[in-house]
Chain A
């Protein structure tokens, strides 16, 4: 027991009211202060958190959660089913500006059966619904009937989690201390300090003086700057696939990209290894679908199409694109094959990837221009209005493989997320079936089939999944990376007494 973990973060939390939090810094802190009913285990299956267990009844229409007894809020008040009810009421309250209401719209009713049993009834079976109960549960006794905007609770959260909130100096740090009464067991590390260091270069200097114990580094820093004896002695580097992928998306409403063969050709003409080498210095892996490579949903039988410009030319010729006038550019019916590849500013890897792709596509006779647009303009004027030909963008992945919002044909309205207006009746059917199926084996089969169909259709050309590259100070033990990252077993991390750096600071019993 003892010592402090100092985490370096680029951004500050925006809010510590769980159902309003949508940025990663807020999520980092809420994840330690609060608990959901369920959580993901390191193998990406759902296990109980505040819920001890649950029953799925009526073919998935009803989920009954059996809550843990003897869980207390940080202020000592017992946690009960009323808190779950309260959190749900706030999630669907039209006056609460929560971005998560969509997940709970399919809930028909939530009933408190007794203090430790909650029954959730859905309008139709909805398998991703179970995971949505990973939403952090908020304390009713503190937040009911209170204006969150003026209440101090908004900045001084009280939860059930392994760490208790101590203080938040805006833009500087957030301090948490171990919760001695945590229901799993008391965390070994006494204190968790979340330092906000907005610049990546400064972060590296802070690591170089051991003022930060855990922080992600860039591929360049990982490859070139941590080979020193200092870093070898004091830090352990980790590397595992992150939950996100970068892709090239085609606007299928554009006649140029309506033909599947054209998209397959564009895929064959991109050398993904080259992009990973050039942009990520090799710290990533080729992706073929919309799921994390380690997930049960990922179809490992799909091998990425090799880089093959000849095949690309053949496919394009089949689709009618040939260089008939001998000017070096492909044309069809008198128009040159030319378009703009659009990406957002402020993301260097994407811009570099766009340049590499531009070169490869030009080599097979396509006149590609790159346009880089500021993020909010990019979203407002190009993405939500679907005013683009080809985009280079990334999605963060959720733990659940449901891709309804991104690939179902009903989600093509302006402002929705099937950006390229992809339509495939079988994919539609499978996505809906995947949402209605609770059986793990059946779900696995469904999502692997979706993966195969999407890869065949190439509405996206999947490029890569970048690696997460955290450094952790070498004094911490029990740091075991997993598919879901590092922090899942934080309460088991410890520092041997003689190696503790912040031993002057002790948690008062």
Chain B
């Protein structure tokens, strides 16, 4: 197993290098520079002042020199500093926003699993049955509904008309004067709508995978055997069939690892949540090269790790794969 991990780990390095090189080229070839965006056609900012900014940030150097400098810092895990505004280190800016995005994504992923897996199982038990058709309509309704529209409707309904929940943001005004417990309740109330909206709009994927995987498993001989033994239906479904049907879900979960830190711009903007999605979007619009490179590289690393995790988990869950890799 260790040898396998080691081999995989080594093969990833050239891939990572390639990803950073291509990313670097693409973002630098995109028209517009951070200094142009920073000064936003402000006539008070003279041409000379902009050239001075370019020199300070090293943007007057040839591209390969700039990439070399970036790479040199990167091997020491230094992503440099943002070129826009407060010039904080890239890692610090990302770390600052990571907890909230991670919290929302993990909560919503848990909620999705909690709802989507049973939906898939029950739907597969009676394909084309009433439950199957009803949930199919429901999950696709969620899938095709524009997030911002649903979010605004719910904010209006629960926030403005019923006044049960806050409209947006993470804390109420004056939350710092409240006790610790009350602060957690307050945060929970703020997170309720975002988590639910994000879960509802992504139910479709996992529930449909679960369903088709289940349908396939239920046709296997051992299921017929289990039924023939006279086992209760829920026992057959959840003990015997579901375990095997979960395998493809593991792959999907592995692939969703980079998604855990990738926030959604629209979503975070609507709910006024200072998450990674907004930061990434703003950085891209401002052509903040070090920030964009930071996001792309971390995203790439997470994707590679996610793939690796999926493979390992798969091997763990499915003895056949383990045996084959040992041969």
Task: Using CB atoms and an 8 Å cutoff, list the residues of chain A in contact with chain B.
Answer: 4, 6, 12-17, 20, 22-23, 26, 94-95, 97-103, 105, 148-149, 154-155, 169-172, 193, 195-199, 201-202, 205-206, 208-209, 211, 375-377, 379-381, 383-384, 395-396, 398, 405-406, 413, 415-417, 502, 504-505
Chain B 283-327 interface residues, beta-carbon cutoff 8 Å to A: 285, 287
Q: Which of A94, A196, A383, A502 contacts B272 (CB 8 A)?
A: A196
What are 25 A-B residue pairs whose CB atoms fall within 8 Å in the complex? A17-B86, A22-B38, A26-B85, A95-B56, A102-B49, A103-B44, A148-B87, A170-B96, A195-B272, A198-B278, A199-B270, A201-B152, A376-B32, A376-B36, A376-B287, A379-B41, A380-B36, A381-B31, A383-B41, A405-B43, A416-B46, A417-B41, A417-B43, A502-B173, A504-B174
Residues of A within 8 A of B30 (CB): 376-377
Q: Are A205 and B152 neighbours in the complex by a CB distance under 8 Å?
A: yes
* Nearest 10 CB-CB pairings of A with B: A171-B274, A14-B85, A376-B32, A102-B46, A380-B31, A405-B43, A99-B45, A15-B86, A377-B31, A417-B43
Residues of A within 8 A of B43 (CB): 395, 405-406, 417
Alpha-carbon distance A504/B163, docked complex (angstroms): 21
Chain A: minimal CB distance from B41 (Å):
6
Q: Are B81 and A100 neighbours in the complex by a CB distance under 8 Å?
A: no
Q: Which of A12, A105, A209 contacts B159 (CB 8 A)?
A: A209
Among B164-172, B179-187, B198-206, which stretch is in contact with chain A? B164-172
Q: Are A170 and B49 neighbours in the complex by a CB distance under 8 Å?
A: no
Q: Are B33 and A197 neighbours in the complex by a CB distance under 8 Å?
A: no
Interface hub of A99, A103, A380, A398 (most chain B Cβ within 10 A) = A99
Q: Which of A193, A375, A415 contacts B47 (CB 8 A)?
A: A415
Residues of B within 8 A of A416 (CB): 46-47
Interface bits B140-178 vs A (CB < 8 Å: 1, else 0): 000000000000100110011001001111110110010
Alpha-carbon distance A343/B150, docked complex (angstroms): 31
Residues of B within 8 A of A375 (CB): 32, 285
Q: Which of A97, A98, A154, A196 contacts B274 (CB 8 A)?
A: A196
Alpha-carbon distance A384/B45, docked complex (angstroms): 13
Q: Which of A6, A14, A101, A171 contacts B86 (CB 8 A)?
A: A14
Q: Are A22 and B40 neighbours in the complex by a CB distance under 8 Å?
A: yes
Answer whether residue B17 sits at the interface, using C-beta atoms and an 8 A cutoff.
no
Alpha-carbon distance A53/B159, docked complex (angstroms): 52
Residues of A within 8 A of B168 (CB): 197, 202, 205-206
Alpha-carbon distance A208/B162, docked complex (angstroms): 12
Alpha-carbon distance A13/B46, docked complex (angstroms): 23
Chain A: minimal CB distance from B44 (Å):
6
Alpha-carbon distance A506/B168, docked complex (angstroms): 25
Q: Which of B41, B86, B166 contacts A155 (CB 8 A)?
A: B86
Residues of A within 8 A of B166 (CB): 209, 211
Chain B: minimal CB distance from A426 (Å):
21
Residues of B within 8 A of A417 (CB): 41, 43
Residues of A within 8 A of B251 (CB): none
Residues of A within 8 A of B177 (CB): 504-505
Alpha-carbon distance A23/B282, docked complex (angstroms): 13
Chain B: minimal CB distance from A93 (Å):
10
Q: Which of B31, B33, B38 contacts A99 (CB 8 A)?
A: B38
Residues of A within 8 A of B47 (CB): 413, 415-416
Q: Are A97 and B86 neighbours in the complex by a CB distance under 8 Å?
A: no
Residues of B within 8 A of A4 (CB): 173
Q: Are A170 and B274 neighbours in the complex by a CB distance under 8 Å?
A: yes
Residues of B within 8 A of A196 (CB): 272, 274
Alpha-carbon distance A100/B169, docked complex (angstroms): 34
Chain B: minimal CB distance from A5 (Å):
11
Answer whether residue B137 sits at the interface, using C-beta atoms and an 8 A cutoff.
no
Q: Are B49 and A205 neighbours in the complex by a CB distance under 8 Å?
A: no
Interface hub of A16, A97, A105, A154 (most chain B Cβ within 10 A) = A97
The closest CB in chain B to the CB of A171 belongs to B274
Chain A: minimal CB distance from B320 (Å):
48
Q: Are A22 and B49 neighbours in the complex by a CB distance under 8 Å?
A: no
Residues of B within 8 A of A198 (CB): 269, 272, 278
Q: Are B42 and A99 neighbours in the complex by a CB distance under 8 Å?
A: yes
Chain A: minimal CB distance from B168 (Å):
5
The closest CB in chain A to the CB of B39 belongs to A99
Q: Are B48 and A171 neighbours in the complex by a CB distance under 8 Å?
A: no
Residues of A within 8 A of B287 (CB): 376
Q: Are A201 and B270 neighbours in the complex by a CB distance under 8 Å?
A: yes
Alpha-carbon distance A13/B39, docked complex (angstroms): 14
Alpha-carbon distance A277/B52, docked complex (angstroms): 43
Q: Are B167 and A99 neighbours in the complex by a CB distance under 8 Å?
A: no
Alpha-carbon distance A284/B71, docked complex (angstroms): 51
If A193-B173, A196-B274 touch, whether A22 touches B97 (CB-CB below 8 Å) is no
The closest CB in chain B to the CB of A149 belongs to B87
Q: Are B41 and A206 neighbours in the complex by a CB distance under 8 Å?
A: no
Answer whether residue B271 sits at the interface, using C-beta atoms and an 8 A cutoff.
yes
Alpha-carbon distance A10/B274, docked complex (angstroms): 12
Q: Are A202 and B49 neighbours in the complex by a CB distance under 8 Å?
A: no
Alpha-carbon distance A4/B174, docked complex (angstroms): 10
The closest CB in chain B to the CB of A395 belongs to B43
Residues of B within 8 A of A413 (CB): 47
Q: Which of B33, B38, B97, B167 contacts A171 (CB 8 A)?
A: B97
Interface bits B13-53 vs A (CB < 8 Å: 1, else 0): 00000000000000000111100111111111111111011
Residues of A within 8 A of B81 (CB): 149
Chain B: minimal CB distance from A364 (Å):
30
Q: Are B32 and A379 neighbours in the complex by a CB distance under 8 Å?
A: yes
Chain A: minimal CB distance from B286 (Å):
8
Chain B: minimal CB distance from A189 (Å):
14
Answer whether residue B84 sits at the interface, using C-beta atoms and an 8 A cutoff.
yes
Alpha-carbon distance A205/B169, docked complex (angstroms): 12
Alpha-carbon distance A420/B112, docked complex (angstroms): 56
The closest CB in chain A to the CB of B85 belongs to A14
Residues of B within 8 A of A149 (CB): 81, 87-88
Residues of A within 8 A of B57 (CB): 97
Chain A: minimal CB distance from B170 (Å):
6
Alpha-carbon distance A381/B33, docked complex (angstroms): 11
Residues of B within 8 A of A383 (CB): 41
If A99-B45, A197-B169, A201-B270 touch, whether A15 touches B39 (CB-CB below 8 Å) is no
The closest CB in chain B to the CB of A172 belongs to B274
Alpha-carbon distance A154/B163, docked complex (angstroms): 38
Q: Which of A209, A379, A405 contacts B160 (CB 8 A)?
A: A209
Q: Are A100 and B167 neighbours in the complex by a CB distance under 8 Å?
A: no
Residues of B within 8 A of A95 (CB): 56
If A100-B44, A197-B168, A376-B287 touch, whether A154 touches B278 (CB-CB below 8 Å) is no
Alpha-carbon distance A209/B85, docked complex (angstroms): 32
Alpha-carbon distance A107/B318, docked complex (angstroms): 76
Alpha-carbon distance A297/B57, docked complex (angstroms): 39
Q: Are A202 and B271 neighbours in the complex by a CB distance under 8 Å?
A: yes
If A171-B97, A196-B274, A197-B272 touch, whether A99 touches B44 (CB-CB below 8 Å) is yes
Seed contacts A6-B173, A383-B41; 6 additional CB < 8 Å A-B pairs:
A100-B49, A195-B272, A209-B160, A375-B32, A413-B47, A502-B174
Chain A: minimal CB distance from B265 (Å):
9
The closest CB in chain B to the CB of A14 belongs to B85
Alpha-carbon distance A101/B96, docked complex (angstroms): 32
Residues of A within 8 A of B45 (CB): 22, 99-100, 102
Q: Which of B44, B93, B272 contacts A202 (CB 8 A)?
A: B272
Alpha-carbon distance A395/B173, docked complex (angstroms): 36
Q: Which of B85, B93, B171, B275 contacts A20 (CB 8 A)?
A: B85
